Amino acid sequence: MTYEIIGITVLWLFLYGYLIVASIDFGAGFFSYYAKKTKKDHIINQLISRYLSPVWEVTNVFFVFFFVGIVGFFPDTAFYYGTALLVPGSIAIILLAIRGSFYAFESYGSKQSNVYMFLYGATGLLIPASLSTALTLSEGGFITETNGEITMNYLKLFTSPYSWSVVFLAIVSVLYISATFLTFYASRANDTEALKLVRKYALFWGTPTIIAALTTFIALGQHNQRHYDRMLDLWWVFGLSMGFFMISLGLIYIGKYYGLAFISVMLQFFFAFFGYGASHLPYILDPYITIYENATHQSTGIALIIVFIAGLFLLVPSLILLMKLFLFNADYVKGKK
């Protein structure tokens, strides 16, 4: 394996990590707002805040890690995406900033206000929508380069069926991942009332998720034939993803093994995400950036990989400690300590 492949795999792994932990967070924001509107907030709010409070900063780091890493391994991404994403990128980080800081203000400072709950809910859907723009751009056709100047065609972006199907997929996936996690967490806490509610959410969001995945696939076929064909070559990966989706939905439906159901959701997205990523290669931005031609110097690339491995030795035990104390500590989840 070349260092370019290792580099992009590491980065993809971190983006996948962000996809899972951030989805739980973003979806939770929407569900708490929805629960408040339907006067059911007393049922799930404690559950949500007990999980989120200790981990929200860690969620953020997954994101920082990805974008620092991609500029490190593939510096040209800074040039193309940096110029093209000024507006959607800035909006996404402003929303993230509002969400993160308000979240901390509220949970360390005071009671919950209506404005806050609205922002918390709305940003939960708007952030995935704006961040998914980067994935849309990567398929090519929205950015043009003339004489070293990058311009982004916003009209084309906003009228493309592909870009809207990606946005839709991002939002429903967030809600599905979050609902299945909360179902698992509520069952650990033996909180039957919350469990009933979030299980309903999970069952509801399963179907649109899989429909959105299919429409996105079809829209991609019209937008980027090469990528579509490569995805068909990897059909078995997406088949596995589909299989794990059926398992997760089935388990939630029969109301048993919620932990296993959530692991199936994680595997469902793992295969879909890595299938998508693998078929995207060698392009990072079609047709301007490929992982081979635009990678950093070998010396920098190898140094980054060494640091990454050293970092894992530090992070994995720390993350396990964090999960043991908050996620898998029965007393904590139940609200005793």
Partner 1 sequence: MLFEDPVLASRFLTLMTLTFHIIYATIGVGVPLFIMIAHWIGIRKKDEHYIIMARRWSRGYMVTVAVGVVTGTIIGLQLSLLWPNFMEIAGQIIALPLFMETFAFFFEAIFLGIYAYTWDRFDDQRKHFLLLIPVAIGGGMSAFFITIVNSFMNTPTGFEMVNGALVHANPVAAMFNPAMPTKVSHVVATAYMTAAFLLASITAFKLLKGSRHVYYKKALYLTMKIGLIFSVASAIIGDFSGKLLAEYQPEKLAAAEWHFETEGEAPLLMYGFLDENQEVRYAIKVPYMLSILAHSNPTAEVIGLNEFEPEETPPLIVHYFFDSMVTIGMFLLVLSLIYWMGIRRHWAFVKSTFFRWLIVLSGPLAFLAMEFGWWLAEVGRQPWILRGIMTVEEAATSSDYVNVMIVLFALLYIVLGVGTVVVLRRIFKNNPIEVELKGNDSP
Task: Point out which residues bind partner 1 (CB under 8 A).
Answer: 53-55, 57-58, 60-61, 63-65, 67-69, 71-73, 75-83, 85-87, 89-91, 93-94, 96-98, 100-105, 108-110, 149-150, 296-297, 299-300, 303-304, 307-308, 311, 314-315, 318-319, 321-322, 325-326, 332, 337
Q: Determine the Cα–Cα distance for residues 181 and 195; give it in Å rounded to an integer.
A: 11
Closer to partner 1 by CB, 1 or 108: give it. 108
Amino acid letter, residue 212: A
**C-alpha count within 13 angstroms, C-beta hemisphere, residue 325:** 9
Q: How far is the CB of 266 from partner 1 (least distance, A)?
A: 20
**CA proximity to 322, closest of 14, 99, 52, 27:** 52
For residue 159, the minimal CB distance to partner 1 (Å) is 20
CB nearer to partner 1: pick between 105 and 118: 105
Classify each residue of 131-157 as buried b or exposed e, where b means 16 or more C-beta atoms within 10 Å of its C-beta.
Answer: bbbbbbbbbbbbbeeeeeebebeeeeb
Compare residues 39 and 337 and give the one whose CB is closer to partner 1. Answer: 337
Burial of 169 (0-12, 13-18, 19+ CB in 10 A): buried
Q: CB of residue 29 vs partner 1: minimum separation in angstroms?
A: 15
| Shortest Cβ 287–partner 1 spacing (Å) | 18
The angle, 0 to 180 degrees and rounded to 10, between the axes of the packed helices 161-188 and 235-254 is 40
Nearest Cα residue to 18 out of 183, 98, 135, 163:
135
| Residue 284 · residue 294 · CB < 8 Å | yes
Of residues 70 and 249, the one with the C-beta less far from partner 1? 70
The position carrying tokens 């301007």 is: 288
Closest to partner 1 by CB, 93 vs 267, is 93
Measured from the CB atom, the residue of 43 and 150 that comes closer to partner 1 is 150
Min dist CB 319 to partner 1, Å, is 7
Closest distance of CB 184 from partner 1, Å = 20
